[in-house]
A and B are shown apart, each in its own frame.
Chain A
């Protein structure tokens, strides 16, 4: 099962919004509403930011939001802050496999 496709990097200035895409297939992203997003700072363990496509765990700022259209899920971060600079990974349920991660996106806050 192939990894989900994410852009290698994105960037934005403080206060701006950025969107990170995550493209899969009808066997994973498009077939289930089980897409999650993880933030990872250097040397740290990943942290869930979005689950079930659009839901935010308690404690995650509402600047983070998720969506999905067809086989592509997206993570949008509005009102960018310096501490949002990190690597972001999408992850989807894929039926019998049953999980697959994206390749990761490095977010740079300019």
Chain B
């Protein structure tokens, strides 16, 4: 069974750094892209970026380029989303999701990681 398990919720202060994770299991982690999606409180889904763990090829939405860093470690079948300096506006639920090969949709999703940034 394909599973994406995300790290737990975080409460941080503005200016702090953060790295959240997404661990894949039940499939060859190196052969599927992993995407990250933001959902701000009461708002819609926003695509942030995507990484191919096989060769670490990474693409970003223009809206998030330079604001976050997406990475992965295929040795521990885990993808990451990180911030160097959080803002209150980063408060949101963040989902990782697996992109189906040769298609552009996500067939499996993590449970979400709630990030709260507050002074």
Contact = CB atoms under 8 A, between A and B. Distances in A.
Interface string B22-39: 000000000000010100
A9 to B, nearest CB: 13
A100 B50 CA distance: 12
Interface in B10-69: 35, 37, 44-47, 50, 59, 61-62
- Kindly list the 5 A-B residue pairs having the minimum CB-CB distance in the complex, ordered from nearest: A36-B105, A104-B44, A93-B104, A45-B109, A34-B104
A34 B105 contact: yes
B45 A46 contact: yes
A91 interface: yes
Contacts of A32: 104
Contacts of A48: 105-107
Contacts of A45: 95, 109-112
Nearest to A1: B62
Given A3-B46, A99-B104, 4 more contacts: A36-B104, A36-B105, A51-B100, A92-B104
Contacts of A64: none
A70 B63 CA distance: 26
Contacts of A89: 44-45
B62 A97 contact: yes
A95 B37 CA distance: 18
B46 to A, nearest CB: 6
B76 interface: no
A103 B104 contact: no
Contacts of A87: 44
Nearest to A6: B44
Contacts of B35: 99
Interface in A8-55: 32, 34, 36, 38, 40, 45-48, 51-52
Nearest to A101: B45
Contacts of B109: 45-47
A102 interface: yes
Interface in A80-109: 87, 89, 91-93, 97-104
B116 to A, nearest CB: 16
B44 A46 contact: no
